[in-house]
């Protein structure tokens, strides 16, 4: 068990999956990486040593890092990468987060193998807003490539096409017994009949939203993205990359063994994707004769948009006396942004495997984000000119029928840029994400660093500024850090910009992140001393 200060050594280690062995980047040789256990409101230090071959950074996903963006981690947004041989001492500053969150690498696609859970327990002297579970278990969903992830990433960049699919999905790093050479290593959860287990779930997969279920056992969701929810009992859940859920599993069935399983929810047409199913086993303790075979739980079809939509739109904040909500009522800053997949003309001599000889790209309000070569936080703090612009548009530059079935090709081409949007301290912000049907309509899990936000509404089709706000939930909307924008639909979030700093916002499907579905908020300092960014630590990695 690790303790403060934690020591995270990034190093390669051999792992065998799907009948072959390769070296992967790990933290402390572990895959999935170590679990961090803290209490709400804690501050801890993690000393990160890079003993790998590549530049890398670590992000604490869901930790809001009040006034301290220096430790947030996204490469070229708040820091330059930790170079091989380098060390960076990072602080985790928790405030209201409670439940399950996670950490992962935030440099190209290194997070494919570099991730782990963060359990945030109630403050000492307080308890869960549900009966105390008998045990807690991380259930981390991910993917596995037989190839080296850096090679997959480089090929993806070089071809301009869709990336190579993973070869398996995983539960706690294991593909499970439906895959070759995986049976004996399948993750097993041993349970006692009558007990309750808190599943601390993370979707750490690089590119896919997943459906998950346990055969014979509906699960009760009690938290999402480090915030408690009203209990929601479901036969299956949908979880997007970047999202976390806390769910109770009641071991109240006939003693036996039962599958838990996950597989992709994927809606872009004409694109091949990983249709395989990962499994783990819930195994009751005791003397009984187990059924000769296990059956898979029901999981919605891969393209079942309404199954995903119904699940995400059913979550509600707990909104209790101990866990109140404070949804901003008066919006001072409204942004409406399209989230689109795009195409760009082929680069000379490129292979350009996108549609009609183009290369794929992605954008927000028609700007495809380009990472700068020194980080934006440093440029902002040090008044370095020419690193970023402050012209991220408040509204879509073109209004068209965003979700129409046929959209003219000339709308597909985005501008390139490194544009931020500057927010005043304590402004109350509303963002409407509008999905588009350019190139491929698909769901986008949009993630904001530095703040959690209320998801006040979501719907299908084009956002209607007259009608849709009438249906907003300002009473008990879920408080999240990653919201799924439904395929050819929209989502609206609200938050108070009370965390001064530089905060990345992007799609958590890494192929879209890499293609440019990203933007950055700079939240200005307030007037009081405790409303300003803290100074940088002395060991910020050099560019
Ligand atoms: Cu979970 Cu910007 O990341
Ligand atoms: Cu996306």
What ipTM does the predicted assembly reach?
Answer: 0.99
**Helix (H) / strand (E) containing 513:** helix 510-515
Alpha carbon separation from 64 to 85, 94, 101, 118, 543 (Å, rounded): 28, 6, 11, 13, 24
Q: State the closest ligand 1 atom to the C-alpha of 449, by its place in the atom list counted from 1.
A: 2
Specify whether the CB–CB gap between 100 and 119 falls below 8 A: yes
Select from 6, 128, 106, 130 the least CA-distant residue to 58. Answer: 106
Rounded to whole angstroms, the Cα distance separating 362 from 508 reads 12
Q: Which long-range contacts (CB under 8 A, 24 or more apart) does 377-385 make?
A: 377/69, 377/70, 377/77, 377/78, 377/79, 377/501, 377/502, 378/79, 378/80, 378/536, 378/540, 378/543, 380/502, 380/522, 381/533, 381/536
Rounded to whole angstroms, the Cα distance separating 369 from 192 reads 50
Rounded to whole angstroms, the Cα distance separating 449 from 331 reads 20
Which bin fits 536, alpha (ψ -120 to 50), beta or left (φ > 0)? beta
Among protein residues, the one with the nearest Cα to ligand 1's atom 3 is 61
Sequential DSSP letters for 426-486: T-EEEEEEEE--SS----EEEEESS--EEEEEEEESS--TTTGGGG---SS--EESEEEE-
How far away, in angstroms, is 207 Cα from ligand 2 center? 9
Sequential DSSP letters for 322-378: SS-----SS-SEEEEEEEEEEEEPPPTT----SGGG-EEEEEETTEEE---SS-HHH
How far away, in angstroms, is 208 Cα from ligand 1 center? 14
- The pLDDT, as a whole number, for residue 524 is 98
How far away, in angstroms, is 286 Cα from ligand 1 center? 42
Rounded to whole angstroms, the Cα distance separating 452 from 425 reads 16
How far away, in angstroms, is 73 Cα from ligand 1 center? 9
Q: What is the percent of the chain with per-residue pLDDT over 70, rounded to a whole number?
A: 99
Q: State the closest ligand 1 atom to the C-alpha of 62, by its place in the atom list counted from 1.
A: 1
How far away, in angstroms, is 490 Cα from ligand 2 center? 13
Q: State the closest ligand 1 atom to the C-alpha of 241, by its place in the atom list counted from 1.
A: 1
Specify whether the CB–CB gap between 207 and 111 falls below 8 A: no
Apex 360 CA angle, 358 and 361, nearest 5: 125
- The pLDDT, as a whole number, for residue 348 is 73
Ligand nearest to the CA of 74: 1
Structural domains of the chain in order of their starting residue, each with its CATH number = 1-127 (2.60.40.420), 128-323 (2.60.40.420), 333-531 (2.60.40.420)
Specify whether the CB–CB gap between 485 and 433 falls below 8 A: yes
One digit per residue, the tens of pLDDT, for the chain of length 543 reads 567 899 999 999 999 999 999 999 999 999 999 999 999 999 999 999 999 999 999 999 999 999 999 999 999 999 999 999 999 999 999 999 999 999 999 999 999 999 999 999 999 999 999 999 999 999 999 999 999 999 999 999 988 888 888 999 999 999 999 999 999 999 999 999 999 999 999 999 999 999 999 999 999 999 999 999 999 999 999 999 999 999 999 999 999 999 999 999 998 876 778 889 999 999 999 999 999 999 999 999 999 999 999 999 999 999 999 999 999 999 999 999 999 999 999 877 778 888 888 999 999 999 999 999 999 999 999 999 999 999 999 999 999 999 999 999 899 999 999 999 999 999 999 999 999 999 989 999 999 999 999 999 999 999 999 999 999 999 999 999 999 999 999 999 999 999 999 999 999 999 999 999 999 999 999 999 999 999 999 999 998
Give 226's strand partners.
none
- The pLDDT, as a whole number, for residue 212 is 98
- The pLDDT, as a whole number, for residue 1 is 56
Apex 149 CA angle, 387 and 265, nearest 5: 95
Specify whether the CB–CB gap between 34 and 48 falls below 8 A: no
How far away, in angstroms, is 511 Cα from ligand 2 center? 8
Ligand nearest to the CA of 446: 2
How far away, in angstroms, is 34 Cα from ligand 2 center? 28
Ligand nearest to the CA of 57: 1
How far away, in angstroms, is 60 Cα from ligand 1 center? 8
How many CB atoms sit inside 10 A of residue 410's CB? 7
Give 347's strand partners.
none
What are the backbone angles phi and psi of residue 367, rounded to the nearest 5°? -110, 125
Ligand nearest to the CA of 209: 2
What are the backbone angles phi and psi of residue 456, rounded to the nearest 5°? -90, -15
Rounded to whole angstroms, the Cα distance separating 472 from 399 reads 23
Ligand nearest to the CA of 450: 1
Alpha helices in 113-161 (DSSP H): 149-159
Give 118's strand partners.
36, 101
Pocket of ligand 1 (CB under 6 A): 59, 61, 74, 104, 106, 242, 447, 449, 504, 506, 508
Select from 69, 34, 67, 63 the least CA-distant residue to 48. Answer: 34
Specify whether the CB–CB gap between 55 and 25 falls below 8 A: no
Entry field: residues in the chain: 543
How far away, in angstroms, is 229 Cα from ligand 2 center? 25
Q: State the closest ligand 1 atom to the C-alpha of 111, by its place in the atom list counted from 1.
A: 1
Ligand nearest to the CA of 208: 2
Q: State the closest ligand 1 atom to the C-alpha of 482, by its place in the atom list counted from 1.
A: 1
Chain centre to alpha carbon of residue 166: 17
How far away, in angstroms, is 221 Cα from ligand 2 center? 25
Residue 405 carries which DSSP code?
S
Alpha carbon separation from 85 to 31, 125, 374, 441 (Å, rounded): 21, 42, 20, 42
């Amino acid at each position: 068990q690790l303790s403060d200060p934690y020591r995270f050594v990034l190093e390669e280690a051999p792992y065998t999956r799907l009948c072959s062995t390769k070296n992967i980047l790990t933290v402390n040789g572990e895959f999935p990486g170590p679990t961090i256990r803290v209490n709400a409101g804690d501050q801890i230090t993690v000393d990160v040593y890079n003993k790998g071959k590549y530049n890398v950074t670590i992000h604490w996903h869901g930790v809001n890092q009040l006034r301290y963006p220096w430790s947030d981690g996204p490469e070229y947004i708040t820091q330059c990468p930790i170079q091989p041989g380098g060390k960076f001492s990072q602080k985790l500053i928790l405030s209201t987060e409670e439940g399950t969150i996670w950490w992962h690498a935030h440099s190209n696609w290194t997070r494919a193998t570099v991730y782990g859970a963060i359990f945030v327990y109630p403050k000492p002297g307080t308890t869960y807003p549900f009966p105390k579970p008998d045990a807690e278990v991380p259930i981390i969903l991910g993917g596995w490539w037989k190839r080296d992830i850096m090679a997959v990433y480089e090929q993806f960049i070089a071809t301009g096409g869709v990336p190579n699919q993973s070869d398996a999905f995983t539960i706690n790093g294991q593909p499970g017994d439906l895959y070759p050479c995986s049976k004996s290593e399948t993750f097993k959860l041993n349970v006692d009949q009558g007990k309750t287990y808190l599943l601390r779930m993370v979707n750490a997969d690089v590119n896919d939203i997943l459906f998950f279920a346990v055969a014979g056992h509906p699960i009760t969701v009690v938290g999402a993205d480090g915030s408690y929810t009203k209990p929601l009992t479901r036969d299956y859940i949908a979880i997007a990359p970047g999202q976390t859920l806390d769910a109770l599993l009641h071991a109240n069935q006939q003693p036996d063994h039962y599958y838990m399983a996950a597989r992709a929810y994927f809606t872009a047409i004409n694109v091949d994707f990983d249709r395989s199913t990962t499994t783990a086993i819930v195994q009751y303790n005791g003397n009984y004769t187990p059924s000769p075979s296990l059956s898979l739980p029901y999981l919605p079809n891969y393209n079942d948009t309404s199954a995903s939509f119904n699940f995400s739109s059913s979550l509600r904040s707990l909104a209790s006396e101990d866990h109140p909500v404070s949804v901003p009522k008066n919006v001072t800053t409204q942004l409406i942004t399209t989230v689109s997949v795009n195409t760009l003309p082929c680069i000379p001599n490129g292979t350009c495997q996108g549609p009609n000889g183009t290369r794929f790209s992605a954008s927000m309000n028609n700007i495809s984000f380009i990472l700068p070569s020194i980080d934006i936080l440093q440029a902002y703090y040090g008044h370095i000119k020419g690193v970023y612009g402050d012209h991220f548009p408040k509204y879509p530059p073109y209004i068209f029928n965003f979700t129409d079935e046929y959209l003219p090709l000339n709308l597909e081409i985005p501008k390139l840029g490194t544009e931020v949007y500057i927010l005043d301290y304590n402004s109350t912000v509303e963002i409407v994400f509008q999905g588009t049907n350019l190139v491929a309509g698909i769901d986008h899990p949009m993630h904001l660093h530095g703040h959690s936000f209320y998801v006040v509404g979501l719907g299908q089709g084009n956002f209607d500024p007259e009608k849709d706000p009438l249906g907003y939930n300002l009473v008990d909307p879920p408080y999240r850090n990653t919201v799924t924008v439904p395929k050819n639909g929209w989502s609206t979030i609200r938050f108070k910009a009370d965390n001064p700093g530089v905060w990345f916002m992007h799609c958590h499907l890494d192929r879209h992140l890499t293609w440019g579905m990203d933007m950055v908020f700079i939240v200005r300092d307030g007037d009081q001393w405790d409303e300003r960014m803290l100074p940088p630590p002395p060991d910020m990695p050099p560019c």
